[in-house]
Amino acid sequence: MTFLIHGATGAQGAPVLAALLPVIPDVRAAVRDAAAYRGGGVPVSVDLSSVDSLAAAYAGVDGVFVHLPIGSPAQQAEHAAAVVAAVHRARPARVVVSTSGGRIDGPEAAGSPLDVLVRGIRDAGVPLAVVEPRLYLENLLLPVVVGPVRTEGVLRYPIRDDYAVSWSSHLDVADVVARLLRDPSVTGTVGVGALPALTGRDLAAAFAEHLGRDVRFAARTPDEFGADIIPLFGEEGARPVIESYRWRATQASEAIDAPTSAQARLGLTPRTPGEWLRDIGV
């Protein structure tokens, strides 16, 4: 079997690559510059804005894992359109898409780059599985978040005290993606995240136990959070993130649906926040 993993050096792709390498002999790492790649698998140079480049990489493979990298809406739209066109042309045997925490349901999602990506691949008639996480535990490792946890014992994050989320880690998503690539019988949506969903207080309690100190949760506004992350991601990259937290401020909660969860469909349970902290060695 041959699998192509987008973002093989990034936060989402690298754990997928690591999960597959021990069990799949031919794993291809889709990267910008194959000559500069030093990781595992077989490097393949791809340009996310080039249909020709993507189609050449997709030709003859048994599975492709793809997600849209952080960027402006225009950049993401360009990448989504190119991936869809390449899938239509090359017709890989299977595609697994991660929504990266974005939503593909509801009126606000219609016409978004993620919606274009998922609908376009589905319209190609290529077997498709869509992995739907909510918020990533790795977000808590941003210096503006984990720094005050260590120095002040305060976990500040732009969600309400009562806002429950099906948090998951990149490691959890990688476990699900690796299973879906190897098991073509499962198609459609697979939600990834904690059930029952977790509040900020639950996260603070996990940090407190792991660090051996008191940690409390403190809600902050999306704009306050945005002022801290713009220097990290740039204005264009940060703006969609800020808007996503403004959207969350209007919602009651953000739990995955139990019937379509990885727990129900694949028998895979995500790490607890405490297990995740131990696994990554924070």
What is the tens place of the pLDDT at every residue in 130-183? 999 999 999 999 999 999 999 999 999 999 999 999 999 999 999 999 999 999
Amino acid in the structure at residue 174: A
Pairing of strands 2-6, 63-66: parallel
pLDDT at 240 over 90: no
Tokens, residue 133 = 């996480």
How far is it, in rounded angstroms, from Cα 54 to Cα 35? Answer: 17
Average pLDDT over residues 264-268: 98
Average pLDDT over residues 106-130: 89
What is the tens place of the pLDDT at every residue in 44-80? 999 999 999 999 999 999 999 999 998 888 899 999 9
Query: Beta-carbon neighbour count of residue 183 at 10 Å?
Result: 12
Amino acid in the structure at residue 54: L
pLDDT at 136: 97
Alpha helices in the chain (DSSP H): 13-20, 51-58, 73-90, 113-123, 143-152, 170-182, 200-211, 222-248, 262-265, 273-280
Domains of the chain (ranges; CATH) run 1-126 (3.40.50.720), 134-167+193-256+271-282 (3.40.50.720)
The DSSP letter of residue 28 is E
pLDDT at 116: 95
The per-residue b/e assignment along 68-101, b for 16 or more CB within 10 angstroms, e otherwise, is bbbbeeebbbebbbbbbbbbbebebbbbbbbbbb
Can you tell me whether residue 126 is helix, strand or coil?
coil
Which is nearest to 117 in space by CA: 136, 135, 104? 104
pLDDT at 25: 87
Rounded percentage of the chain residues whose pLDDT exceeds 90: 87
What is the tens place of the pLDDT at every residue in 30-49? 999 999 999 999 999 999 99
How far is it, in rounded angstroms, from Cα 77 to Cα 56? Answer: 20
Question: What does pTM read for this prediction?
Answer: 0.93
**28: β partners:** 4, 42
How far is it, in rounded angstroms, from Cα 258 to Cα 265? Answer: 9
What are the residues whose beta carbons fall under 8 Å from the beta carbon of 141, sequence distance 6 or more?
A: 282
End-to-end alpha-carbon separation of the chain, Å? 35
Mean pLDDT rounded to a whole number for the chain: 95
Residue 107: pLDDT band with limits 50, 70, 90: low
pLDDT at 276: 97
pLDDT at 102 over 90: no
What is the tens place of the pLDDT at every residue in 175-202? 999 999 999 999 999 999 999 999 999 9
